[in-house]
Amino acid sequence: MNLTHIAFIVDGNSTWAKEREVPQLEGYRAGMRAVASTVIAAHEFHIKYVTFYIFSSENWHRPASWILDFMNLARCFFDEGEQIKWMLEIGARLMVIGDKTKLGPEFLNILNKLEEKTKDNNGIFVQLAISYGSRDEIVRAARRMLDLGINFTETNISNNLDTAGIPDPQLIVRTGRKQRLSNFLMWQASYSELYFPPILWPDFDKVQLQIAIDEFYTRERTYGR
Residues 6+ positions from 20 with CB-CB distance below 8 Å = 26, 27
CA 7 to chain centre: 6
Q: What do you get for the CA distance between the two ends of the chain, in Å?
A: 16
Torsion sign (Cα): 63, 64, 69, 70: positive
Look over the chain and give the mean of its residue pLDDT values, rounded to a whole number: 95
Q: Of 59, 61, 54, nearest to 9 (Cα)?
A: 54
Q: How confident is the model at residue 87 (pLDDT cuts 50, 70, 90)?
A: confident
Which of 1-5, 203-207, 219-223 is most confident?
203-207
Q: How confident is the model at residue 171 (pLDDT cuts 50, 70, 90)?
A: very high
Provide the residue ranges of all domains of the chain, joining segments of one domain with +.
Answer: 5-133+171-216
Please tell me the pTM assigned to this model.
0.95
> Residue 126 forms beta bridges with which residues?
50, 94
State which fold the 5-133+171-216 domain adopts. Answer: Undecaprenyl pyrophosphate synthetase (3.40.1180)
Q: Are the C-beta atoms of residues 204 and 175 closer than 8 Å to each other?
A: yes
Is pLDDT at 184 greater than 80 in this prediction?
Answer: yes
CA 138 to chain centre: 17
pLDDT (tens digit per residue) in 29-73 = 999 999 999 999 999 999 999 999 999 999 999 999 999 999 999
The pLDDT, as a whole number, for residue 77 is 87
Write out the E strands in 111-186.
Answer: 124-132, 171-174
Report the length, in residues, of the chain: 225
Q: What Cα–Cα distance (Å) separates residue 129 from each residue in 9, 21, 35, 145?
A: 10, 28, 12, 22
pLDDT (tens digit per residue) in 88-134 = 889 999 999 999 999 989 999 999 999 999 999 999 999 999 999 99
Task: State the virtual CA torsion across 71, 86, 167, 183 in degrees, nearest 10.
Answer: -20
Task: Give ∠ CA 52-203-58 in degrees, rounded to 5.
Answer: 40
**Which residues are identified as catalytic?**
11, 59
Q: What Cα–Cα distance (Å) separates residue 81 from each residue in 6, 85, 110, 187, 215?
A: 24, 6, 11, 33, 33
Task: State the virtual CA torsion across 182, 207, 167, 157 in degrees, nearest 10.
Answer: 0
Q: Are the C-beta atoms of residues 20 and 183 closer than 8 Å to each other?
A: no
Write out the E strands in the chain.
Answer: 5-9, 49-56, 92-97, 124-132, 171-174, 193-195
